[in-house]
Structure 1
Amino acid sequence: MTGFTNLGALIDRARDPAKPALIDLSGAAPREVSYAELDALSNAAARGLLRRGLRRGDRVGILAANSTEFLAALNGAMRAGLVAVPVNWRFPPATVEYVLRNSGAALVLTDAARAAAVPEGVPGITFGSAAWDALLDPGDFTPVMPEPAEPALFLYTSGSTGRPKGVVLSHQSHLWVVEQRLAGADMARERVLIAAPLYHMNGLALAQLASAAHITVVLLPAFEARSYIRAIGAHRVTWITGVPPMMAMLLQERETLTATDTSCVRHVRCGSAPVSPALVAAIRAAFPQAGFVNGYGTTEAGPVVFGRHPEGIPTPPLSVGYPHPAVELRLNADNVLEQKCPALMNGYWNRPDLKSPLTPDGFYVTGDVFHRDENGFFTVVGRIDDMFISGGENIFPSEVEKVLESHPAVEQSAVIPVPDAIKGTKPVAFVVRRGAVDEAALKAHALEHAPAYMHPRRIWFLDALPLMGTNKIDKARLAALAAERLGAD
């Protein structure tokens, strides 16, 4: 056990208070923030929020890019017994408003670039403003001791298939996550780079782990491939993490990679979407001194799901690992993963219209289809709701993408279904090239390496794939683009 009791208070004051907690790259120059300074700022935010009149259980929206103030506001809200609601600032304005109103946010803390997105009638305070300075109330603060299952966070899902859902996470659920990830881990020498947004589980859970482990986070306000690479070299980062599209974009910056000493990187973790063999090979070639982990997790049930095999059997290249001993897993009749563990959410906030994603015996139905091999290793096949039927055959886009990305001239790909008068739907693809290849050659490659029904009927080339706010590929935008291009044919 770690001894932590409040998710906003993951700083061990018995450890070196002068050690850098953050190297914040959100401003014009790097800003080093010690653990003592981050702790004091978090306490000042907690005291100020309560002095303002907020009461236990009130929600506090955070609408901002990654920064020291973001983390201090997040910590402070939770220390005070309030519920932090980090908001995806890349959502359209109407969706941002929906999230803040659905959550019932009593106050929104924002940065200057996003202050205008705070809806009318919802109080807002901008980091760095006179109002922010007035909110802060420096001094000691004893974090609230949460009741069992007391909410700490609402994390809103991306909303790619409808209105975002507010996932209610308790203090205890993610304190358990931190305990499990710290157990047996020697992280003292690590330095972590975070560019994934802190409103998403990928970046937030790592920031919380780093704080509990008392290591330094190099914090970028958002992901930009060249800045990310330069930060690795300049700040001697040992641990990098991100979703597969982030890694693919990073690897496209060959000149910057060549010019930067990245030999300090010892750990590369990729998660939140399936990876292809080509991407894994490219990551290992770019960071030959680093171990690679293909991670898996969900907002609803946390990032502790898989790990190493208990008998030491090596994890296959595309596998997410062997079931973690503290987690119960099973595959249902459709090979969809179902999970039960202490990190499980309380439920979806203020959405009585939604069917519960829990089975009668308490397993969370992830919606992710898996293959399990003879040694018990799990590999992601794709989202059950991404699967489409073409001429009676089931097609998972990720399987077609793996085939396309096995061509040496393909950097990235995204496959989507489009309507077809005969087959119902058919696959088409968008591709980012790294070398010379045309549509006919890629179709022939797909036909050679996969069943004919899987090959994309049209392939279009882009300089970059559009991303959602979570840095996953925005397939809704690609669907609109495909409809536009097919209409022009």
Structure 2
Amino acid sequence: MIFHDWPWRHWRDLRPQAVAIRLGDETLNWQTLCERVDALASGFAAQGVQCGDGVMLRACNHPRTLLAWLALMQCGARILPVNPQLPDTLLRQLLPSMTLRHALDLADESEFAELSRLEMGVFSGSYAVPWDAHRLTSMTLTSGSTGLPKAAVHTPDAHLASAAGVLSLIPFAAQDDWLLSLPLYHVSGQGILWRWLLAGARLTVREKIPLQQALQGCTHASLVPTQLWRLLNDNVSVALKAVLLGGAAIPVELTELARTRGIRSWCGYGLTEFASTVCAKEADGLPDVGRALPGREVKIVDGEVWLRASSMAAGYWREGRLVPLVNADGWFATCDRGVLQGERLTIPGRMDNLFFSGGEGIQPEEVERIIAAHPQVRQVFIVPKEDAEFGHRSVAVVDLQEGYPSSALAEWCRDKLASFQQPIRWLALPEHLAQGGIKISRRALQHWVATV
């Protein structure tokens, strides 16, 4: 679909009274949603936000966050969404290179003297810059393994291309409702937003409440396996019919159990630089991540996955300019190991996750896939821990079904893993690192393991 106006205005003109969004306990149609966005955009413009300005949006998922995001886009802003848990010291290192003018902080009262602080003021009238699908609109921080995060910059056109690819695989109609289960500072949260706008369907945004409550009335959700396990094991009554799973190896027992409850499960492979999902499939228990979605290209060069796509970022933002992310051949080299069998891509693991134990190379993702096949395993991570004799040893961090002992899992793995792959310790996944369903940071896990 090609939009000639802001997507929410497009749907207002076509179906003004159709339900567009649920903000907490409040339901808005497209007409009312546009009125709210217009008022906020007028307020931001009155505070000096101009087309092309960089704005830091520091917020958790909340109805106000979603409205602010749409209004800032309607002002033509270049939005940098920031996790409120990022320490101010890190932000102060990052901000100078981001070329920002304003900050909208909905999480606390932090002050950044170099930025003009915005308020959620509501003004009369309707303010909007012209719709431009090629304008730079989002700056999403990557979770690079070394150094400061980089900001991948996307246009609406790239976000819509990402959404179109996913919706070519997962049915999402006007009467369907996708829960914004991931924050907008994460590229997967932005993916949900743009799928909603492309489909003209429904979106649900709630404050932080238990997942089973947040899902009431929702047909679609983006979850990690642990969340789906808990929903199914607790026999929670939900209207879900489609789930996009990510963040870990996905046990076939989980997707089969979901299928018996009328829930279809999809999984895939995505990157911040490509506005979320690149390859996907309906979960089938096989180790591949599916085929490239429409508008994406994949090839393997010296064992590494190279990508290009219509959803690719315009570049990384640095000191007021775009730094290209493609190599001399015009492709993005991912640092992911890859194997193509026909059109289906398998990702054995990250090249930078590989570690050595007693001279033997261990690819954590390969070991995780074997352990995740156990029906009592919800989620598992293999983490290296420094060792004076071996260099590193494997530690398993697992989320197990309640009551199942890790000692039994260790015994089950005896004949399934090589001796050098066997974890020397089995630790329970700590709740504080699960981050409410967001992809778990391997770096954070490694730091935690080093302290226990």
TM-score where L is the length of structure 1: 0.82
Match of 1:339 in 2: 307
By how many angstroms is 1:404 displaced?
2.6
Does structure 2 conserve the Cα–Cα contact (< 8 Å) formed by 1:329 and 1:337?
A: yes
Match of 1:103 in 2: 98
Does structure 2 conserve the Cα–Cα contact (< 8 Å) formed by 1:11 and 1:212?
A: no
Match status 1:40 vs 2:35:
yes
Measure the CA separation in 2 of the matches of 1:11 and 1:240: 24
By how many angstroms is 1:382 displaced?
1.9
Question: SS of the counterpart of 1:349?
Answer: strand
Question: SS of the counterpart of 1:449?
Answer: coil
Measure the CA separation in 2 of the matches of 1:327 and 1:450: 35
Measure the CA separation in 1 of the matches of 2:436 and 2:187: 12
Question: SS of the counterpart of 1:381?
Answer: strand
Question: In structure 2, do the counterparts of structure 1 residues 151 and 402 end up closer, same or farther at CA, with 3 Å as the change threshold?
Answer: same
Match of 2:180 in 1: 194
1:168 to 153, 177, 200: 153
Match of 1:406 in 2: 373
By how many angstroms is 1:179 displaced?
4.3
Question: SS of the counterpart of 2:396?
Answer: strand
Match status 1:415 vs 2:410:
no
Match status 1:305 vs 2:254:
no
Question: SS of the counterpart of 1:189?
Answer: coil
By how many angstroms is 1:472 displaced?
2.0
Match of 1:3 in 2: 3
Q: Match for 1:321: what amino acid?
A: G
Does structure 1 conserve the Cα–Cα contact (< 8 Å) formed by 2:298 and 2:308?
A: yes
By how many angstroms is 1:285 displaced?
0.8
* Gap runs ≥5 in structure 2: none
Bigger strand share: 2
Measure the CA separation in 1 of the matches of 2:396 and 2:285: 27
Measure the CA separation in 2 of the matches of 1:143 and 1:416: 48
Cα RMSD (Å): 3.0
Match status 1:330 vs 2:299:
yes
Q: Match for 1:117: what amino acid?
A: S
Does structure 1 conserve the Cα–Cα contact (< 8 Å) formed by 2:41 and 2:128?
A: no
By how many angstroms is 1:290 displaced?
1.8
Match of 1:129 in 2: none
Does structure 1 conserve the Cα–Cα contact (< 8 Å) formed by 2:305 and 2:333?
A: yes
Q: Match for 1:298: what amino acid?
A: L
Match status 1:156 vs 2:141:
yes
Q: Match for 1:21: what amino acid?
A: A
Match status 1:93 vs 2:88:
yes
By how many angstroms is 1:104 displaced?
2.9
Measure the CA separation in 1 of the matches of 2:427 and 2:172: 46
1:124 to 117, 129, 132: 117
By how many angstroms is 1:167 displaced?
0.9
By how many angstroms is 1:11 displaced?
4.2
Match of 2:268 in 1: 295
By how many angstroms is 1:414 displaced?
1.9
Question: In structure 2, do the counterparts of structure 1 residues 83 and 377 end up closer, same or farther at CA, with 3 Å as the change threshold?
Answer: same
Match status 1:69 vs 2:64:
yes
Does structure 2 conserve the Cα–Cα contact (< 8 Å) formed by 1:10 and 1:212?
A: no
* Deviating more after overlay: 439-448 vs 159-168: 439-448
Question: In structure 2, do the counterparts of structure 1 residues 205 and 230 end up closer, same or farther at CA, with 3 Å as the change threshold?
Answer: same
**1:29-71 C-alpha deviation (Å, 9 max, x unpaired):** x122222222122222333333323332111111112233222
Match of 1:21 in 2: 20
By how many angstroms is 1:149 displaced?
4.6
Measure the CA separation in 1 of the matches of 2:94 and 2:19: 34
Question: SS of the counterpart of 1:348?
Answer: strand
Does structure 1 conserve the Cα–Cα contact (< 8 Å) formed by 2:314 and 2:324?
A: no
**1:113-162 C-alpha deviation (Å, 9 max, x unpaired):** x2223434433234xxxxx23xx33323454243x853111111235533
Question: SS of the counterpart of 1:282?
Answer: helix
Question: In structure 2, do the counterparts of structure 1 residues 453 and 4 end up closer, same or farther at CA, with 3 Å as the change threshold?
Answer: farther
**1:343-366 C-alpha deviation (Å, 9 max, x unpaired):** 2112211179x9964221211112
**1:255-312 C-alpha deviation (Å, 9 max, x unpaired):** 7x32x322x22111113x34232xx422431452122110222111233523569xxx
Question: SS of the counterpart of 1:296?
Answer: strand
| Percent identity (aligned) | 24
Does structure 2 conserve the Cα–Cα contact (< 8 Å) formed by 1:416 and 1:475?
A: yes
Match status 1:365 vs 2:333:
yes
Question: In structure 2, do the counterparts of structure 1 residues 20 and 94 end up closer, same or farther at CA, with 3 Å as the change threshold?
Answer: farther
Match status 1:228 vs 2:211:
yes
Does structure 2 conserve the Cα–Cα contact (< 8 Å) formed by 1:167 and 1:347?
A: yes
Question: SS of the counterpart of 2:56?
Answer: strand
Q: Match for 2:206: what amino acid?
A: L
Q: Match for 2:151: what amino acid?
A: G
Question: SS of the counterpart of 1:12?
Answer: helix
By how many angstroms is 1:416 displaced?
0.6
Does structure 2 conserve the Cα–Cα contact (< 8 Å) formed by 1:149 and 1:346?
A: no
Match status 1:241 vs 2:210:
no
Question: SS of the counterpart of 1:21?
Answer: strand
Q: Which runs of 4+ in 1 moved over 4 A?
A: 8-11, 179-186, 354-357, 435-440
Measure the CA separation in 2 of the matches of 1:308 and 1:287: 15
Question: In structure 2, do the counterparts of structure 1 residues 177 and 423 end up closer, same or farther at CA, with 3 Å as the change threshold?
Answer: same
By how many angstroms is 1:408 displaced?
3.9
Aligned residue pairs: how many? 450
Question: In structure 2, do the counterparts of structure 1 residues 159 and 137 end up closer, same or farther at CA, with 3 Å as the change threshold?
Answer: farther
Match of 1:282 in 2: 254
Does structure 2 conserve the Cα–Cα contact (< 8 Å) formed by 1:9 and 1:79?
A: no
Question: SS of the counterpart of 1:297?
Answer: strand
2:237 to 261, 264, 288: 261
Measure the CA separation in 1 of the matches of 2:189 and 2:445: 25
Measure the CA separation in 2 of the matches of 1:424 and 1:301: 35
